């Protein structure tokens, strides 16, 4: 969890459509807590991006923003007292469930196709590689 203290409402799939039915099933027990959203969209600025960039499934939970952009994110007010205890306890159960389900799957989570590498620039005659 990297987006503050708000309750988890769903998952950004980072363009990985194949994982949607798996996550939908895992989210079902938490629907009464408001975790009902799956979006194919990407989100940035969190640690999952380094995994996603090399083809490993990386996802980010969608959370209520609770003061994230207005008061607490990277400010002197980003302190323990701002944590919403109820949200954090609920989120811990959701995250633990996703970790448990992932670890106990018979198969790996589906991967997105890797992006094709950018073509290497052609060297001009007489150029020297640095």
- Mean pLDDT of all residues in 72-96: 80
d(CA 66, CA 55): 31
- Smallest CA-to-CA distance from 38 within 22, 54, 57 is with 22
The two structure tokens encoding residue 77: 């007010």
> What pLDDT band is residue 1 in, cutting at 50, 70 and 90?
low
Region of poorest pLDDT, from 11-20, 62-71, 79-88: 62-71
- Smallest CA-to-CA distance from 115 within 58, 49, 52 is with 52
Render pLDDT for 105-117 as a digit per residue (tens, 0 to 9): 999 999 987 767 7
- Mean pLDDT of all residues in 37-62: 78
- Smallest CA-to-CA distance from 7 within 75, 71, 68 is with 68
How many CB atoms are closer than 10 A to CB 117?
Answer: 6
pLDDT for 30 beyond 60: yes
pLDDT for 16 beyond 80: yes
Question: 11 - beta bridge partners?
Answer: 38, 61
For the chain, give every domain's residue range. 8-103
- The DSSP call for residue 66 is T
């Amino acid at each position: 969890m990297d987006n503050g203290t708000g309750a988890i409402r769903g998952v950004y799939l980072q363009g990985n459509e194949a994982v949607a039915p798996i996550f939908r099933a895992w989210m079902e027990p938490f629907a009464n807590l408001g975790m009902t959203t799956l979006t194919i969209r990407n989100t940035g600025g969190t640690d999952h991006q380094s995994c996603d960039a090399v083809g490993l499934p990386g996802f980010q939970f969608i959370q209520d923003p609770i003061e994230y952009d207005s008061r607490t994110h990277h400010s002197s007010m980003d302190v323990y007292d701002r944590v919403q205890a109820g949200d954090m306890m609920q989120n811990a159960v959701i995250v633990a469930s996703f970790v448990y389900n992932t670890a106990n799957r018979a198969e790996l989570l589906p991967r997105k196709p890797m992006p094709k590498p950018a073509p290497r620039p052609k060297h001009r005659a007489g150029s020297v590689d640095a």
